Chains A and B, each alone.
Chain A
């Protein structure tokens, strides 16, 4: 009886966006006379950071400071349609809608500034710090706040913009499956290192090392949060989680967290990740998406590592201690 170590790897791609298209998402941007830019949406933040990412995209596309951007989301009366948070679609779909709306609002803002400065709007730039100036002549400038005020009280012009991003429907051909099913692909590869106790059947994941390619990262801190959280979720999916522990029987189904085995805090290994950036032409500022895929490469990597450690052939999840001990018994019986 011993502890045995093994390593395993897996490489995956993930198709970004609602499969088969036809999933619109919109955004409306307007400047308030108080100096903020409000982005109205009906999209949902589940904790992944939609509001943060949309604010970054809006600030960049408008050319205004991040802290002046308000994300007003989650209201079907004030926000345009959103087809929902799922399929790693919101950064891509909502991000593109926000860019379109912000560009239109920026153009209206620059038109007002051009009248104030008596120049052509085409000659104007924003510095992202709250100022608009003539390209190459920084002293010839007005502030964004002054421009919004002037638009409202002097020129009678709304500084606002509309965006709706829609990927056309692409139904799958019933015979061949031909379709245009996604907007871009993200990639990941994970190496798992495990130690298996052959007496108890317990698996300790020692490390998970991954590289991800998810287009341009809008927010590396939030991307890392998804990858680390997904690595943890993957360990649970691989080693213990199920609502049907003796599938196909329906017996012993958990009713609570005490009996639905999720990985505990102590079982979480260090997670290393490296990000490659291959900006996607279809994504907002080259972004793809990351939320859906983060358990997909760790799960098979861990099972491959267990098989590597024990010279086994396990091909079902979850790989509970019972599964391992039975497999080891069968292995021993076969060797006899």
Chain B
């Protein structure tokens, strides 16, 4: 062990202790879910929708069933309990809408329709390719504007305007704080702009996967790289119509995640296939699956309108955000709430109004990625801060320091700030990068508001 990693005896916290698994990582001996060998394991391949939006007229699995090595074929009829993902229904915030395997409609190109289980992966792939689905194509929408346009093709009967309905039938996750309208009327300048991000892939080097193994005691062991074992257990059990007490999840060591392994999409499918086949089943995303059918980060469109005084104080901020969630909600409302609560960012603005919409389109569904909801908020706000600075011909550092939240300030979600350190962080970055701040800005503190 090098000098750098020597730790002071008796105190473990605060020390640069070497990552526990580093010795096994460098020897390739860390055990990931796929390294556990299970005898007589079958492989699963999903036949997916080839069109973005259609009614399903017929699903013909007869040739797949006859295909070499195929052991079982699953359609929605093999999903015993709830036919849809219900993890948000369980907490009372959204009706289940995403089928485990397609029912009467597909809403994105890549939606799972039939699962084919075979002795080898190649045989499962060959079998899946032989499934024949007859579609009646429907018109599609691929972005927020198209989805919200009058007369746009509708994805869900329960959401007639192609956007999710938040509690109390609100169209958006809302923040209402102060009197933004009045403040705009009194502001010296109005600065407004729209900021966009595009879908991206989490891309952990290990793809998402699971091996489901039936036990002789009626329980099932699931080896998985899920980012959330307990919730995945409960969700998989609910979909399979069995008690969570019958599931045993083993994981805890994943080859990266970044939000790409929180969907709970893999385990229920592997479990249903193992139940039907009565043998261990492995289901893993290929890299192409990760790129095309696993959840992406959403495309976010963030529109900000600020009322600003000549001295740089931001007195009002309006935010309207559209999250293009794709064809199904998954955990997008969580991202929407998080985005809304983050407004107006780490600045004290006395009048704030925010509306965050979750809009359905016929795209690959989106979900979590590192910084879920907050990253697009931070991106838009920090681009906007430079825009304000430019409009006022003010130094962007000074603009941020002047508006940075201080302890005791009230945030838009109506809680006092008590652990602020933005001022000190900006000051430290100025020192690090050789930026000279005026003396009064060097004296600022998160503990109290001086001058300004």
Contact = CB atoms under 8 A, between A and B. Distances in A.
Question: Are any A and B Cβ atoms less than 8 Å apart in their complex?
Answer: yes
Given A49-B19, A242-B200, A177 B174 contact: yes
A256 B292 CA distance: 9
Interface in A91-145: 127-129
Contact of B199 (A75, A218, A247, A255): A247
A185 B346 contact: yes
B378 interface: yes
Contacts of B371: 14, 292-293, 295-296
Interface stretch (A59-67, A156-164, A194-202, A327-335): A59-67
B421 A244 contact: no
A15 B341 contact: yes
B365 to A, nearest CB: 12
B57 interface: no
Interface in B10-34: 10-21
B190 interface: no
Interface in B377-429: 378-379, 381-383, 385-386, 396-397, 400, 404-405, 412-415, 417, 419-422, 424-426, 428-429
A243 B12 contact: no
A84 B249 contact: no
Given A221-B5, A241-B201, A256-B288, A187 B196 contact: no
Contacts of A262: 203
B81 interface: no
B109 interface: yes
Given A59-B12, A82-B230, A247-B199, A189 B176 contact: no
Given A76-B248, A244-B198, A300 B379 contact: yes
Contacts of A294: 370
A260 B291 contact: yes
B17 A219 contact: yes
A46 B382 contact: no
B227 A86 contact: yes
B297 to A, nearest CB: 9
A203 to B, nearest CB: 16
B428 A45 contact: no
A20 B396 CA distance: 32
A299 interface: yes
Q: How large is the interface on B (under 10, 10 to 19, 20 to 34, 35 or more residues)?
A: 35 or more
B346 A44 contact: no
Contact of B198 (A7, A45, A242): A242
Contacts of A221: 4-5, 16-19
B382 A315 contact: no
A15 B375 contact: no
A219 B425 contact: no
B193 interface: yes
Nearest to B25: A47
Contacts of B247: 76
A222 B173 CA distance: 35
A296 B370 CA distance: 9
Contacts of A36: none
B114 interface: no
A77 B220 CA distance: 12
Contacts, number: 362
A15 B382 contact: no
B14 A187 contact: no
Interface in A254-305: 254-257, 260, 262, 272, 274, 276, 278, 280-281, 285, 291-297, 299-301, 303-304
Interface string A34-59: 00000001111111010110011101
Interface residues of A, number: 119
Contacts of A75: 248-250, 252
B213 interface: no
Contacts of B288: 255-256
Interface string B335-350: 0011011100110000
B291 A244 contact: no
Given A75-B252, A218-B13, A82 B229 contact: yes
A133 to B, nearest CB: 12
B167 interface: yes
Contact of A304 (B337, B372, B382): B382
Contacts of B337: 19-20, 172, 181
Select the residue from B15, B174, B177, B250 with max chain A CB neighbours within 10 A: B15
Contacts of B19: 49, 52, 221-222, 225
A46 B193 contact: no
Contacts of B228: 44, 82-86
A292 B297 CA distance: 14
B212 interface: no
Given A51-B21, A274-B432, A177 B291 contact: no
Contact of B229 (A12, A42, A172): A42
B400 to A, nearest CB: 5
A321 interface: no
B69 interface: no
Select the residue from A41, A247, A260, A307 with max chain B CB neighbours within 10 A: A247
Contacts of A280: 419
Given A12-B382, A60-B12, A85-B257, A174 B170 contact: yes
A295 B371 CA distance: 8
A84 B396 contact: no
Given A8-B386, A209-B433, A253 B292 contact: yes
Select the residue from A46, A77, A222, A225 with max chain B CB neighbours within 10 A: A46
Contacts of B414: 176, 178
B435 interface: yes
A295 B378 CA distance: 10
Given A56-B15, A174-B168, A253-B291, A297 B378 contact: yes
B255 interface: yes
A278 B10 contact: no
Given A174-B170, A221-B16, A222-B19, A66 B375 contact: no
A281 B419 CA distance: 9
Given A191-B429, A218-B13, A318 B341 contact: no
Contacts of B354: 177
A13 interface: yes
B262 interface: yes
B229 A295 contact: no
B38 interface: no
B88 to A, nearest CB: 13
A221 B341 CA distance: 31
A183 B370 CA distance: 18
Select the residue from A66, A74, A225 with max chain B CB neighbours within 10 A: A74
11 contacts: A47-B255, A66-B12, A74-B253, A75-B250, A128-B11, A177-B413, A211-B428, A216-B14, A220-B15, A233-B258, A316-B195
Closest 9 CB pairs of A and B: A74-B252, A84-B228, A128-B10, A300-B382, A248-B143, A221-B16, A211-B428, A177-B175, A10-B382
Given A45-B252, A219-B14, A243-B364, 14 more contacts: A55-B12, A66-B17, A71-B20, A85-B227, A175-B174, A187-B422, A220-B16, A250-B52, A260-B291, A276-B428, A297-B382, A315-B383, A317-B196, A317-B379
